[in-house]
Amino acid sequence: MAICTEINFDGLIGPSHNYGGLSLGNLASARNAGGVSHPRAAALQGLEKMRANLRLGLVQGLLLPHDRPDERWLGELGLTLDPSLPRGGHDVSALIANALSASAMWAANAATVSPAPDTADGRCHLSVANLVTMPHRSHEWPGTLAQVRLAFAHDAFRIHGPVPPPFGDEGAANHMRLCARHDTPGVEVFVYGVAGGPFPARQHSEASRAVARRHGVADALFVRQSDEAIAAGAFHNDVVAVANERVLFAHEQAFAEKDQFYADLRARLPEVEIVEVPASAVSLADAIQSYLFNAQLVTLPNEGGMALILPTEARDNERVWRWLEAMVAGNGPIRRLIPVDVRQSMANGGGPACLRLRVVCAPETVDPRFLLDEAKIDCLSEIVTRHWPETIAPDALSSPALWADIRNARAAALEALDLMALA
């Protein structure tokens, strides 16, 4: 019987990475709107994070950038990229920016994953997220579906298409799994938001329930995200909470009915350890600025114990870092802090945890083209250095020359990985 382990599939940051300011409720995206992006540096930062995780002894996977600009989506809107064709006097630059987004890099929003030990049929289920709330993300799912169908074609998996609109589903960013060990049955926690605040609640409870039903999850909890958290800029639950095996690491104000949630969790998994960060030590504003919860909380295979792989922004915030250092000095389950530089992604509101999709499965059941070793990371780094644009300024987004460069860059990566089937 093959052994299940956790694999982090990181999204390779695509050559069209830019600061379009497209995500209402995502404070970093709004703050950096119209800035000049650095796609090459962004992708190299992501690759170095993957390398560092490999060196910790973790299994590392990869998801590829999508074809951008997305002409299929523009076509459904009655548009082509050919500027000589009539556009009825309408300014379509905003739609083109939406078609160009590299947002598929945030793989935590690609799908929700229920590993085999949790499901009725003993298979690992993946539901591709519909991401319907944000136009620039609403056209990601076909590209994601094509990739996961290839990566997880083995019989050990069952792939589902997106939940139908209008029920917004943002994937694993609003899903946590608590269990004794990755390969034992877990409690799956589906976190949803309720509309009515200043910012969109992107995960609808009906979508969460649909995913849990489709996956045949034996033990599911549905938990409401607090309105304060969404209003403060936590557009996904993974901006204020993260779980790994028996540990939940969360902000005091992450959940609407926290006491009930914690009690339900303790009743189902008595060994659960809840590490809660009090608002008196770290405010919601500091949590969202520093992204300390948008960390990869991982079990270290070589040394035992858990580590938080967090953005350098968490180290740069004095209050946050003081709290974290005191935590690791104590007797708790989280023993190490590992800051990583993903500043280009962070400037769009995407930290280390946003960049990865966790899949618990036997590695030999995954198409090896989607698994990384250091030689492949070296090869991809060379391709990125050679082909990814160094910078993208906002006025370049409507440039056909840039579109061609972006397409050629992606094609070079697909070719190197023998994944031209995705072209």
Out of 49, 236, 356, 410, the residue judged to bind ligand SUG by CB under 6 A = 236
Token readout for 236 is 């996904």
Q: Does residue 21 bind ligand SUG (CB under 6 A)?
A: yes
| Residue 21 C-beta: closest distance to ligand SUG, Å | 5
Residue whose CB is less far from ligand SUG, 357 or 419? 357
CA-to-CA distance for 103 and 114, rounded, in angstroms? 23
| Residue 108 C-beta: closest distance to ligand SUG, Å | 4
Residues 64-103 that bind ligand SUG (CB under 6 A): 101, 103
Residue whose CB is less far from ligand SUG, 63 or 239? 239
Out of 20, 162, 185, 389, the residue judged to bind ligand SUG by CB under 6 A = 20
Residue whose CB is less far from ligand SUG, 31 or 209? 31
Q: Does residue 349 bind ligand SUG (CB under 6 A)?
A: yes
Residue whose CB is less far from ligand SUG, 100 or 217? 100
Q: Does residue 26 bind ligand SUG (CB under 6 A)?
A: yes
Position 379, amino acid: C
Stretch binding ligand SUG (CB under 6 A), from 104-112, 214-222, 380-388, 391-399 = 104-112
Residue whose CB is less far from ligand SUG, 269 or 288? 288
Q: Does residue 253 bind ligand SUG (CB under 6 A)?
A: no
C-beta separation of 170 from 209 below 8 A: no
C-beta separation of 33 from 20 below 8 A: yes
| Residue 296 C-beta: closest distance to ligand SUG, Å | 12
Burial of 418 (0-12, 13-18, 19+ CB in 10 A): exposed
Q: Does residue 16 bind ligand SUG (CB under 6 A)?
A: no
Q: Does residue 135 bind ligand SUG (CB under 6 A)?
A: no
Out of 16, 29, 290, 317, the residue judged to bind ligand SUG by CB under 6 A = 29
CA-to-CA distance for 324 and 336, rounded, in angstroms? 10
Q: Does residue 389 bind ligand SUG (CB under 6 A)?
A: no
Q: Does residue 104 bind ligand SUG (CB under 6 A)?
A: no
Q: Does residue 112 bind ligand SUG (CB under 6 A)?
A: no
H/E element holding 52?
helix 39-55
Out of 112, 119, 225, 348, the residue judged to bind ligand SUG by CB under 6 A = 348
Of the candidates 171, 42, 14, 43, the one whose C-alpha atom is nearest the C-alpha of residue 104 is: 14
Where are any strands of DSSP class E within 235-366? 241-244, 247-251, 273-277, 296-299, 306-311, 334-340, 356-361
Out of 104, 189, 292, 354, the residue judged to bind ligand SUG by CB under 6 A = 354
CA-to-CA distance for 384 and 233, rounded, in angstroms? 32
| Token pair 């460069």: residue | 405
Out of 6, 70, 227, 238, the residue judged to bind ligand SUG by CB under 6 A = 238
CA-to-CA distance for 319 and 327, rounded, in angstroms? 12
Strand partners, 5: 361
| Residue 421 C-beta: closest distance to ligand SUG, Å | 27
| Residue 279 C-beta: closest distance to ligand SUG, Å | 20
Residues 176-235 that bind ligand SUG (CB under 6 A): 235
Stretch binding ligand SUG (CB under 6 A), from 19-27, 52-60, 74-82, 314-322 = 19-27
CA-to-CA distance for 288 and 202, rounded, in angstroms? 17
Residue whose CB is less far from ligand SUG, 14 or 186? 14
Q: Strand 334-340 relative to strand 306-311: parallel, antiparallel, unpaired? A: parallel
Q: Does residue 22 bind ligand SUG (CB under 6 A)?
A: yes
CA-to-CA distance for 109 and 131, rounded, in angstroms? 8
CA-to-CA distance for 148 and 218, rounded, in angstroms? 23
Angle at 128 between CA 233 and CA 152, to 5 degrees: 130
**Positions marked active-site:** 170, 236, 354
Q: Does residue 37 bind ligand SUG (CB under 6 A)?
A: no
Token readout for 228 is 């304060």
Stretch binding ligand SUG (CB under 6 A), from 120-128, 220-228, 346-354, 357-365 = 346-354
For residue 69, cis peptide bond before it (omega within 30 degrees of 0): yes
CA-to-CA distance for 371 and 365, rounded, in angstroms? 11
Helical axes 39-55 vs 374-387, angle rounded to 10°: 170
Out of 38, 68, 137, 369, the residue judged to bind ligand SUG by CB under 6 A = 137
Strand partners, 62: 10
Sheet with strand 5-11: strands edge to edge: 59-63, 5-11, 356-361
Footprint of ligand SUG (CB under 6 A):
19-23, 26, 29, 101, 103, 106, 108-109, 137, 173, 235-236, 238-239, 348-350, 354
